[in-house]
Chain A
C-alpha cells in the first residue's frame, strides 16, 4: 500500500479530478454563445474606464513582508513545541527569548506605525454646529414693507 504521504497525494489528485469533472460536465451541458457585451469586465453595466491593474494601498506589501517574518518564525517554533517537554527549563528559556523578540518586533512595528491604516474621517455633522450655524428660531426681522405714508 501507499505511505501516508501517498494518501495525501491521492487527496490532492482527487481534489483536482473533482473540479475537472465538474467543469467537464458543465461544459457538455451549458450553452456557449459569447457576445462582445458579455465579454466586457463586469463593472455594474458601465463600460470599464482605464486599466484594471489599479494602484492599491502600499500597506498591503508591508503586511505581506511582516507576515513572512512571523511565518518563518512560526515554522521554527513548531519543532520546539513538539520536543519541548523532554527538554525542560532550558527549552523554556530559549523559547521565551524567541517569543519576547517576536513581541518586541510586533511592538516595534506598532510604534513605527506600520500597522496603522488610514482611518476614515467621516464628516458627520454635529448637532451643536448645526444649532450655531442655523438658529432654530429665526431672529425677528424688520417688516420689509415700508409703512405707507398716509397722505394728509
Chain B
C-alpha cells in the first residue's frame, strides 16, 4: 500500500500524510453507516420503520444530520471555562483516531507497525478520559460534572480487565505487535484465538516461531472466556448500554456533553462511534483472526493477484469489526442499564479476579503444552 502511494506521489511527507489519513476516510464512511444502522436497527427491533423521509427508506438521514449539526448555533454557557471547554472537544476524537494507527486493516495496511502495538493502544485510548473530565468540569453544569466523574470512574475501572485480557493473548504470542498477533491465527477459523489459537507451527514476521499442535484446544474455554471479558470491558469503556450510566438520559440529560451543541457535540459523537469500532476491531484482532479469512486463504492469493488478496483481507476485517459494532447496538435494545454498585461489582469482584486466574492458568499451560 505504501509502495503504491510512493509510486503515485513520490517519496515525501505528502505520501505519509495521505497514507495516515486513509483511516480518516474509513471513519467518515463508517460513522455515516453506523448512525444509520443505530437508527434503523433500533427501529426494526421495536417494530418501527425509523426515518423514512430523507431519500429512499431514509438512507441519507445521517448526511442530513451532519448538515444540521454544521448549521447549529454553538451555545456555550456564559459561566463555562472557555479554553478548557473548547480544548475538551478535541481530545476524545484525537485519542480514538490515534488508536487507529496500530490497527492492521489488512496485511498491506497498518498505519504504524509498532512493536508496542497492543500496549500503545491501551495507553492512548485512555487519553479520552482526560477530555471527558475536562468537558464535564469546564461546562459548569451539575449534570456534566456528575456524568464526567461517573464516566471516568467507569472507564478507568474497566481498563484493568481489558488490559489483562490483552495481556493473556500477549502471554501466548510473545509479541505486542498486532500484525504478529493476527499472523499467529492464520490458516482457518479453528486457529483463531477464540477457538484456542494456532494448531500448527506459525512463523511470525520477525522470524519468531510459535510451535503449536492440536493440544492447544485446551485453551478454547480460557480464551473464549477472555474474549467475553474483553468485550464486556470494551462495552463499558465506550459508555454503551448496559454500562451507560455516564449518559443516563433519564437522569443526567446526556452526561458530560450536556452543554455541547452543534459541531462540538458531533465531535464527541464521532469519537464515541470511532471508539466502538476500535473496541470491536481489537476484539477481532485478538480473538477472531483480524484480517484472516475464516477458510484460511483468499481468492486473490489463490489466483496470485496481490491487490485482490489485500482487498479481501480488508473486507474480512471490516465485516468482522462491523459485526461486533452491530452486537453493541443490539445489546443496547436488549439489556437494561446497570446501577453504579452493580457496575463496580462486575468489574472489581468478577472480571478482575477472573482475568488474574485465567492469566495464571494460561501462563502454566504455555510452558506445559
Q: List A residues at the B interface (Cβ < 8 Å).
A: 1-2, 4-8, 10-12, 14-16, 18-20, 22-23, 25-27, 29-34, 36, 38-44, 48, 52-54, 56, 60, 63-64, 66-67, 70-71, 74, 77-78, 81-86, 88-89, 92, 95-96, 99, 102-103, 106, 109-110, 115-120
**Chain B contacts with A in 39-76, Cβ cutoff 8 A:** 69-76
**Are A12 and B153 within 8 A (Cβ)?**
no
Decide yes or no: A39 and B75 within 8 Å by CB, A78-B176, A81-B171, A115-B344 being known contacts. Answer: yes
Q: In angstroms, how far is the closest chain B Cβ from the Cβ of A72?
A: 11
**Are B366 and A85 within 8 A (Cβ)?**
yes
> What chain B residues lie within 8 Å of A86 (beta carbons)?
174
Which residue from chain B places its CB closest to the CB of A114 in the assembled complex?
A: B348
In the A-B complex, list the 9 residue pairs whose CB atoms are closest, starting with the nearest.
A15-B97, A26-B263, A39-B78, A15-B94, A117-B341, A7-B112, A11-B101, A41-B141, A10-B20
Answer yes or no: B17 CB below 8 A from chain A CBs. yes
Contact of B145 among A42, A52, A64, A77 (CB under 8 A): A52
Q: In angstroms, how far is the closest chain A Cβ from the Cβ of B257?
A: 11
> What chain B residues lie within 8 Å of A22 (beta carbons)?
263, 266-267
Q: In angstroms, how far is the closest chain B Cβ from the Cβ of A44?
A: 7
Q: In angstroms, how far is the closest chain A Cβ from the Cβ of B274?
A: 10
A-B contacts, 24 of them at CB < 8 A, read A1-B16, A7-B16, A8-B98, A8-B102, A14-B17, A16-B94, A18-B97, A19-B94, A23-B267, A26-B71, A32-B73, A38-B73, A38-B75, A40-B78, A41-B80, A41-B259, A48-B142, A53-B137, A70-B352, A85-B174, A92-B363, A106-B348, A117-B341, A118-B341
Docked complex Cα distance between A118 and B344 (Å): 11
Contact of B160 among A32, A70, A84, A89 (CB under 8 A): A70
> What chain B residues lie within 8 Å of A78 (beta carbons)?
119, 167, 170, 176
**Are A117 and B259 within 8 A (Cβ)?**
no
Which residue from chain A places its CB closest to the CB of B141 in the assembled complex?
A: A41
Q: What 0/1 pattern do residues 135 to 175 of B give for CB contact below 8 A with A?
A: 00101111111100110110011011001100100110011
Answer yes or no: B253 CB below 8 A from chain A CBs. yes
**Are B90 and A25 within 8 A (Cβ)?**
no
**Are A42 and B141 within 8 A (Cβ)?**
yes
Q: A11-B98, A41-B80, A106-B356 are in contact. List 5 more A-B contacts (CB 8 A).
A: A15-B95, A23-B264, A63-B344, A92-B367, A120-B341
**Chain B contacts with A in 217-275, Cβ cutoff 8 A:** 253, 258-259, 262-264, 266-267
Answer yes or no: B289 CB below 8 A from chain A CBs. no
Q: In angstroms, how far is the closest chain A Cβ from the Cβ of B173?
A: 9
**Are A8 and B93 within 8 A (Cβ)?**
no
Decide yes or no: A84 and B363 within 8 Å by CB, A23-B264, A52-B141, A102-B356 being known contacts. Answer: yes
Q: In angstroms, how far is the closest chain A Cβ from the Cβ of B185?
A: 17
Docked complex Cα distance between A74 and B71 (Å): 45
Docked complex Cα distance between A20 and B86 (Å): 10
**Are A8 and B120 within 8 A (Cβ)?**
yes
Q: In angstroms, how far is the closest chain B Cβ from the Cβ of A98?
A: 10
Decide yes or no: A14 and B348 within 8 Å by CB, A19-B93, A40-B78, A60-B149 being known contacts. Answer: no
**Are A81 and B167 within 8 A (Cβ)?**
yes
Which residue from chain A places its CB closest to the CB of B340 in the assembled complex?
A: A117
> What chain A residues lie within 8 Å of B205 (beta carbons)?
none
Docked complex Cα distance between A106 and B79 (Å): 41
Decide yes or no: A10 and B143 within 8 Å by CB, A1-B11, A30-B74 being known contacts. Answer: no
Answer yes or no: B111 CB below 8 A from chain A CBs. yes
> What chain A residues lie within 8 Å of B360 (beta carbons)?
96, 99
**Are A43 and B348 within 8 A (Cβ)?**
no
Of B141, B144, B160, the most chain A CB neighbours within 10 A belong to: B160
Decide yes or no: A41 and B101 within 8 Å by CB, A19-B90, A78-B170 being known contacts. Answer: no
